[in-house]
Amino acid sequence: MRAGWLVVLGACGGLDADPGIRAELQIAGAQFVAGAMPASSTDIRVTAIDSLNNTIRAGQINKALSGRVQGDGRAVALGFADDAGYWIVPAAAADLNLPDELTWSARASFAPTLVPGTRDLLVAAVDDHGAFGPPDPLTLTVRSGTLDLTGTKLAFALRWDTEADLDLHVVLPGDPPVIVWWGDGSSYIPPPPGTPPDPVAAAASGILDADSNDQCVIDGRRAESVTWRGDAAAPPHGTYAVLVDAFSLCAVTTAHWTLDVFREGDPASVAHAEGTVVDSDTRGQHVAGSGVRALTFDN
């Protein structure tokens, strides 16, 4: 039966050899169909769309989507309304708790040119005759895939490609060195108790922007940055050590990361490193200065 809907769509001219490389949405292992998704001509519905997090970033890859479709559905179609086309994903086995419904799953990737804002991903059921049910929207919030370098004096940017919990550790020059990481997200050293804080020193410090995917609570960022931003920012001179710590892979098998250093707001990276972590890299303590040394940098 599943081959049937492919044949029907092909007979209507829907399926072709277009690999969909122009599309802003890419679905791994799925069939691309150029053009707009057909109007609905059946009542068969997608009954569930499951997404760990509805915030994505431009250029994000391998986002997990899944759900259920009514039993007469043989596939689901996924696509943006104004994209170059849409994707067909075959339905799989019956749901264990709802035997009248079939399950489906997909791995979605998004173009680096995706404009920040909200975007509706349309998901529609397809029956074995190639008829489409009414599409259900999954509203995604798109964030820029690049670090905003406006006003930065120095920036360390970590990015990775799967829903793992990786952590950026930046070891500043000095003795003893200050480490900016999720356990201490600023290089500012507070004064002793009873002494008022120094606003100039606070403004001069480097700041960690986020602890992405903390404890495997997936946030869609897959990115962490430490930046010195603003007129008062004053990154210290000397040698920095930058580490990448694999806190958890969050049920994925690997995570490939990239690390870039930027100076004076220039988008051209002045230092770059990349690597891949596996499950064995998550073992041991995760304290200040943990992880693999990605690079050293002289400022």
Query: Considering the chain, what percentage of its residues have pLDDT values greater than 90?
Result: 78
If you average pLDDT over residues 96-120, what whole number do you get?
93
Level-2 CATH architecture, domain 2-143: Sandwich (2.60)
For domain 152-298, give the fold.
Answer: Lipoxygenase-1 (2.60.60)
pLDDT range class, residue 14, cuts 50, 70, 90? very low
| Per-residue pLDDT at 191 | 87
- Write down the pLDDT at residue 16: 53
* Mean of pLDDT values over 209-215: 95
The per-residue pLDDT for 71 is 85
Phi/psi of residue 5, nearest 5 degrees: -70, -30
Structural domain boundaries of the chain? 2-143, 152-298
Question: Average per-residue pLDDT in the chain?
Answer: 91
Predicted pLDDT of residue 220? 78
Rg over CA atoms, the chain: 23
The predicted-structure confidence for 115-155, as pLDDT tens digits, reads as follows 999 999 999 999 999 999 999 999 999 988 889 999 999 99
Q: How would residue 48 be classed by pLDDT, with cut points 50, 70 and 90? A: very high
* pLDDT tens digits, 60-92: 888 899 999 998 999 999 999 999 999 999 999
2-143 shares its CATH topology with 152-298? no
Lowest mean per-residue pLDDT among 9-23, 82-96, 97-111, 207-221: 9-23
- pTM, entire model: 0.70
